[in-house]
Amino acid sequence: MNADEMDDALDLHDPKVKSQIRQSNKDIRAARTKPAEYTPAQRRILDARLAQARKGPHYGPFNTADEMISHMKSELKNRATIKSAKRPR
């Protein structure tokens, strides 16, 4: 048992914690809980990542699956060439 598990086990014997757990369970059963929300810091991180994803790179749309496969193969070949060029010999 690690320190966190030991702390959790000890908390379960605390009457205040037991009372909070019981109240929380009652609230859940009565549907009085509100949905989980992100903190402002988490929201800023998510928004930044989404903005970066929107910038791209984007490929396609492809007219056929063969066009897409051809593009993917050429990308893999380019990456392999770049990787081998960076590797010291």
Instruction: Give the rounded percent of residues in the chain with a pLDDT score beyond 70.
Output: 94
Residue 37 within any structural domain of the chain: no
Q: What is the pLDDT of residue 9?
A: 80
Could you read off the pLDDT of 52-82 as tens digits, one per residue? 888 877 788 899 999 999 999 999 999 888 8
47 occurs within a structural domain: no
Residue with tokens 């770049």: 82
Answer yes or no: are the C-beta atoms of 45 and 39 closer than 8 Å: no
Give residue 74's pLDDT. Answer: 93
How many domains are there within the chain? 2
* Domain presence at residue 53: no
Cβ–Cβ < 8 Å for 10, 2: no
The whole domain housing 89 covers: 60-89
- The candidate with the shortest Cα–Cα distance to 42, out of 50, 34, 31, is 50
pLDDT tier, 18 (very low <50, low <70, confident <90, very high otherwise): confident
On whether residue 51 sits in a domain, the answer given is: no
- The reported pLDDT for the residue numbered 56 is 78
